[in-house]
């Protein structure tokens, strides 16, 4: 027990030193209940054209399929709430995309954490995952005590809201496990449901991904967005934060202290006209390390046709 306590304390200490705002640990096990919910969601085709959600179902629910002999799942949270805001009358971009691509930033930190553990504890087999592999991050976050899943589908932390990234490190050593988060503090609030411009949030805590602005502006690779969505994006050009902006729990959000998430100046200040007149080469140069590269130049130009600047 003393050794488990020592290793667990070491992991949480090092996670804090690396800049993570939360670190919790759960026992690696098959996510049977989450598997049922995911399967039902997929069967309703609420993922739209995100076919990748259908892939590797068994890997999503069983951590030992990703790390043989897995015993523990470590969840860390990385705050991305920005101190700066976009200028008035600019095409809106989700706050998570203001700075450098979080995949690169957090993946490097997870790699560093695993290296530290190997040096301090001994040979550990493990893999880090950042939103780009078949891992149910939010389910593990709840199991590690990080918070609850709100009506908007986001993990909400009682102390700091929901503006953070969730990352997972699966390892093959036993540790002391945190209690899962057992309560739901959304109560009767439906601010996110009522505020969603495309009615993508359903009352039963189910998100219709195929109606979400983030889906249309980032995930959908079609050259044309369905005409019936015209006028429903408001001023959101890349992603959408409406359901988080109206969430009462985000009154506790504090600016992040990760310099790599400092906003790219153009994101804060470019007008719609400047976005529409930027060349593809300039776009690639300015946003080469930005999440915006996921939509590519053509996708950004496509999205601009659907927004309304007030």
pLDDT in tens, 111-154: 999 999 999 999 999 999 998 666 788 899 999 999 999 999 99
Backbone angles phi, psi at 239, to 5 degrees: 75, -170
- Nearest alpha-carbon partner for 230 in 289, 303, 144: 303
Give Cβ neighbours of residue 13 (< 8 Å, ≥ 6 apart): none
Whether 301 shows a pLDDT value over 50: the answer reads yes
Q: Which residue among the candidates 34, 131, 245, 289 is catalytic per the annotation?
A: 131
Average pLDDT, stretch 86-112? 96
Instruction: Name the band, by pLDDT with cuts 50, 70 and 90, for residue 263.
Output: very high
Query: Domain residue spans in the chain?
Result: 2-171, 191-246+264-304
Inter-residue contact 19 to 78 (CB < 8 Å): yes
Q: Is 131 labeled as catalytic in the residue annotation?
A: yes
Q: What is the pLDDT of residue 283?
A: 97
Instruction: Name the band, by pLDDT with cuts 50, 70 and 90, for residue 272.
Output: very high
């Amino acid at each position: 027990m003393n050794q488990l306590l020592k290793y667990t304390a070491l992991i949480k200490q090092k996670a804090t030193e690396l800049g993570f705002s939360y670190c919790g640990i759960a026992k690696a096990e098959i996510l049977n209940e989450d598997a049922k919910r995911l399967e039902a969601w997929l069967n309703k085709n609420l993922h739209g054209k995100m076919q990748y959600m259908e892939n590797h179902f068994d890997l999503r629910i069983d951590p030992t399929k990703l790390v043989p002999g897995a015993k523990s799942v470590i969840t860390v949270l990385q705050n991305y709430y920005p101190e700066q805001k976009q200028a008035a009358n600019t095409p809106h971009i989700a706050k998570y995309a203001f700075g450098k691509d979080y995949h690169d930033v957090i993946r490097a930190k997870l790699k560093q954490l695993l290296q530290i553990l190997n040096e301090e504890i001994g040979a550990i087999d493990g893999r880090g995952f950042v939103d780009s592999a078949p891992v149910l991050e939010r389910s593990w976050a709840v199991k590690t005590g990080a918070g609850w899943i709100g009506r908007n589908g986001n993990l909400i932390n009682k102390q700091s809201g929901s503006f953070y990234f969730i990352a997972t490190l699966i390892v093959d050593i036993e540790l002391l496990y945190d209690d899962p988060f057992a309560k739901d503090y959304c109560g009767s609030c439906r601010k996110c449901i009522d505020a969603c411009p495309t009615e993508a949030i359903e009352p039963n805590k189910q998100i219709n991904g195929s109606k979400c602005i983030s889906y249309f502006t980032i995930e959908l690779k079609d050259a044309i967005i369905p005409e019936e969505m015209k006028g429903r994006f408001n001023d959101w050009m890349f992603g959408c934060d409406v359901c988080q902006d109206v969430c009462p729990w985000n009154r506790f959000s504090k600016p992040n202290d990760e310099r790599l998430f400092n906003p790219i100046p153009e994101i804060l200040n470019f007008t719609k006209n400047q976005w529409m007149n930027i060349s593809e080469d300039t776009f690639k140069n300015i946003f080469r390390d930005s999440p915006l590269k996921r939509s590519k130049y053509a996708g950004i130009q496509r999205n601009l046709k659907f927004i309304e600047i007030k």
